Amino acid sequence: MKLFSIVIKNNTNLVQGLMIGFVAGRGKNERIYHGKDYDIKPVHLQSSIIDLLGLGGQYTHYIIQDSLVEPITDLIKSLEEEYGISLESVEEIDHLEFHFELKIYSKEIGDRALEIFRNKGDDINVTGFQPEEVVREDAQGPELYSPEHDYELTGEGDVQGEVQSLLSFYYRLKEIEQVHLSEITLKIKE
């Protein structure tokens, strides 16, 4: 299944209600992702800057499956005049990516993080991640004023993958407070 990035200009609440109702009304169990709900950085940075400055309407970003492209495009075009809604872009997605950094000081949490990486799946590509795990036997005990932790897991890297797998992987990592994640960036097919 191919996925597309779609940017719609108008009031975000209006667009959100329209999209949810339209997709649900089709009754075809189709997937739609509102970019803001999934920490996905909008494709068009210029649109985001315009919104932040309050200069030109609002832009709502979605990821939709290919079966929805034509029906949503037709819907938006049919509502352009009456509601001032417009379709800004529709582009096929190649993959999603994000950067992460981790600094964990608990063996239990470190093991959990490493397990997530071990079970990432074949369609997730992690680059640059060289985890450094340090266990200091002499630093064990109360750490109130200790200059060292008895356990440390550190590392950083980049992750790429297809939409559904990457989102699942991202949110498993996000559950661990000591893993810091960038926004997800989507890459458009050339």
Residue 67 pLDDT: 94
3 state DSSP class of 50: helix
**Domain coordinates in residue numbering, the chain:** 3-95, 96-188
pLDDT at position 22 is: 93
* CA torsion through residues 33, 99, 153, 143, sign: negative
What integer is the mean pLDDT of 16-35?
90
- Do 3-95 and 96-188 show the same overall fold? yes
Question: Contact, 184 vs 41, CB < 8 A?
Answer: yes
Confidence at residue 53, expressed as pLDDT on a 0 to 100 scale: 46
Contact predicate 162/63, CB 8 Å: no
Pick the CATH number of 3-95 from 3.30.70, 3.90.660, 2.60.40, 3.30.40: 3.30.70
Q: Rounded to an integer, what distance in angstroms lies between the CA atom of residue 37 and that of residue 63?
A: 11
Averaged pLDDT score across all residues of the chain = 86
Residue 26 has pLDDT above 70, yes or no: yes
Asked if 148 contacts 136 with a C-beta cutoff of 8 angstroms, the reply is yes
CATH topology of domain 96-188: Alpha-Beta Plaits (3.30.70)
Q: Show the CA angle centred on residue 108, arms to residues 179 and 162, nearest 5°.
A: 40
Residue percentage of the chain with pLDDT more than 70: 85
CA distance 91 to 187: 10
Average pLDDT rounded to a whole number, residues 48-75: 77
Predicted confidence (pLDDT) at residue 49 exceeds the cutoff of 80: no
* Residue 44 pLDDT level (bands cut at 50, 70, 90): low
Reported confidence tier of residue 146, pLDDT bands at 50, 70, 90: low
DSSP 61-89: EEEEEGGGHHHHHHHHHHHHHHH--EEEE
